[in-house]
Amino acid sequence: MMLGLASCSKDIGNYSYHDVNVVSFQGFDTINGYSTYFGDTLKITPTLVSSKDDNKEDDYTYEWSFRIGTGQSGAGQAPDPLRDSVISTSKNLDVKIGLVPGTYSLQYRVTDKATGLVYPIRTNVLVTTEVYEGYLIMNDVNGAARLDMLSYNSTLNKFTQYTDVLQHMGSTVPMSGKPYQILCMNYTRSNIVAQNYGIFLLTSENTNRVNQETFAWNPTYNIRYLMLGDVPENFTAQSINGQYNNTNSSPTIYMYGNDNNWYSMATNAGYVFKYTPVNVYTTGGTPFKVSPYVATDGNAAIFYDAENRKFVTTTNPAVTSVIDVNPLLHYPTGYDLKWMNMNYYPEGGQVKKVYSILKDPTSSKLYLLRFKMGAALTDTALYYFQPFMPDMYNSSDKVDIANATNFTVSPDYEYLFYNVGSKVYEYDLGLSKNFLMKDYGNAQISYMSFLHIYDRYGLAQMTKNQNYFDWSSELTIATYNPGGAAGSNGTLEQYKIQPVNGALQLAAQWTGFGKIVSVGYRSR
């Protein structure tokens, strides 16, 4: 028998230990990142700090790369995987940026040739354009349409004003005709088409959208290319309104055409406007005369039958007909609709409520109606139907309410604002009382609203961008001096609303516009 014996002994081999070179970085901003315009050159000059004194540039290889891809798949498409795309192998970055505007992850990799060790570092790069985000302002200049912009730089928290921004960007979009509206919102999902954000320009002769990043235009951006059916060549829209549904993912949009009919588009029902009027009681039937106002929560919609003087509703975004509102809900009938809109923001458990001004056709009296879409008007917590300003008819300081325009409701307070001539009034629904808030004297008010910034929708978006919450809570008023130079005689102001009917507090003011007729916000 053989035994195998083993013992432990100290390893007294001759080994030589060396410090490994360690690389760190200076002059590379990982906190704030970098910002650059599309088409501009991005330059970054980092400093390498080596743990060895003999640090030389040739001792390393370098690689700059952008993380691209969505990691998602579109309808009927293969997934778009995340991947790093190399843009430079130089020590310093000096490269022209051709990426679509957005935020990208930039990686810088330094490899030590001697050891093979890799030292990576990442930061974010925001690729923007001059028109990346901001207010879009539709002006009337001697009867012609002009689009201006207050471009917002989120890094600097600063607005830059562009007069005739379409000309500035070299856009060829037709703008002939009287200006109607500017609308900014997603009109479909990003996994359907890359150009999913609609910047719609409405005039009496044209309805178009422009490229969401560059404002470029081609004929397929005409509204007719978003419609299904035998659409007349001269079809245009007088107004467009919409809202995201409760999941904040699928927009529903309604369009009031130059034929005085309403048309609908829902992303969960075909991604196009069906050239079939909604203001019918059976699909394809004869349209009835309908008011030019709509209120929608993204699921159902409320219209007003102007012939029979009653509210009607759709049951879901996919339908192209209406039904009468359930009589058990007790909606008022027999009035003329003067105005209708709704509070679109449900933050903090708020209920989205519809507001309307109704006129007695046999007198000059107006009524203010508030209701939750689909809720019974016997629900006193939501329902409000009273004569509008009941004390004004016998007041010594009478308001010419018949000539009131630009009705709008604060999304945060039960205050209805409107103007009569150059005077701005606030009506407190709780007190049923009217307050004169501002008198512009010789200046004329051409526009007044609480802006509908679509990306404010819901608590998630409020935490995403507090600015959208703040700006849409401010009363936006546009005035112009009739005796001033057309095209530069207009002013845009924003006011913070104070509780307990306090005086309006000026938050921002810009001048140099024309007669402003519509304001939208290109959000992100």
Distance CA 104, CA 35 (A): 10
pLDDT in tens, 263-302: 999 877 778 999 999 999 998 899 999 999 999 988 889 9
Pairing of the two strands 118-128 and 60-68? unpaired
Question: What sign has the CA pseudo-torsion 171, 174, 180, 183?
Answer: negative
Report which DSSP code applies to 453.
-
φ, ψ for residue 395, nearest 5 deg: -80, 150
Determine the pLDDT at residue 350.
Answer: 66
Is residue 327 helix, strand or coil? helix
18 falls within a domain = no
φ, ψ for residue 269, nearest 5 deg: -145, 30
184 and 136 in contact (C-beta within 8 Å)? yes
Question: What sign has the CA pseudo-torsion 213, 215, 216, 217?
Answer: positive
- The kind and range of the H/E element at 416 are strand 415-420
Distance CA 18, CA 16 (A): 7
271 falls within a domain = yes
Domain with 99, as residue range(s), is: 23-128
Strand partners, 435: 426
174 falls within a domain = no
306: its two tokens:
């102007």
282 falls within a domain = yes
Determine the pLDDT at residue 4.
Answer: 39
Report which DSSP code applies to 52.
S
Determine the pLDDT at residue 394.
Answer: 43
End position of a domain, from candidates 103, 128, 153? 128
Q: What domain count does the chain have?
A: 2
The residue with tokens 């830059």 is 160
Report which DSSP code applies to 290.
B
What b-and-e string marks burial along 409-431, b requiring 16 or more CB atoms within 10 Å of the CB? bbbbbbbbbbbbeebbbbbebee
End position of a domain, from candidates 128, 143, 163? 128
Which of the residues in the chain have pLDDT under 50? 1-9, 393-396, 459
CATH classification of the domain holding 79: 2.60.40.10
249 and 190 in contact (C-beta within 8 Å)? no
383 falls within a domain = yes
Strand partners, 477: 448, 493
522: its two tokens:
């290109």
479 falls within a domain = no
Question: What sign has the CA pseudo-torsion 225, 231, 234, 239?
Answer: negative
The residue with tokens 């689909």 is 374
Give the dihedral of Cα atoms 235, 236, 237, 238; nearest 10 deg.
-110
Report which DSSP code applies to 174.
-
Distance CA 360, CA 370 (A): 17
Residue 132 CB neighbours (<10 A)? 20
Q: What is the DSSP string of 1-17?
A: -----------------
Determine the pLDDT at residue 5.
Answer: 35
263 and 277 in contact (C-beta within 8 Å)? yes
351, amino acid identity: V
Determine the pLDDT at residue 119.
Answer: 97
φ, ψ for residue 241, nearest 5 deg: -145, 150
Distance CA 4, CA 136 (A): 89
349 falls within a domain = yes
Determine the pLDDT at residue 247.
Answer: 55
End position of a domain, from candidates 354, 370, 388? 388
Three-state SS annotation for 59-113? HEEEEEEEEECCCCCCCCCCCCCCEEEEEECCCCEEEECCCCCEEEEEEEEEEEC
Conformational region of residue 421, where left means phi above 0, alpha means psi within -120 to 50, and beta covers everything else: left
297 falls within a domain = yes
Determine the pLDDT at residue 6.
Answer: 41
Pairing of the two strands 310-314 and 323-324? antiparallel
Determine the pLDDT at residue 395.
Answer: 46
504 and 431 in contact (C-beta within 8 Å)? no
Cα–Cα distances in Å, from 368 out to 182, 219, 283? 28, 43, 32
Report which DSSP code applies to 271.
S
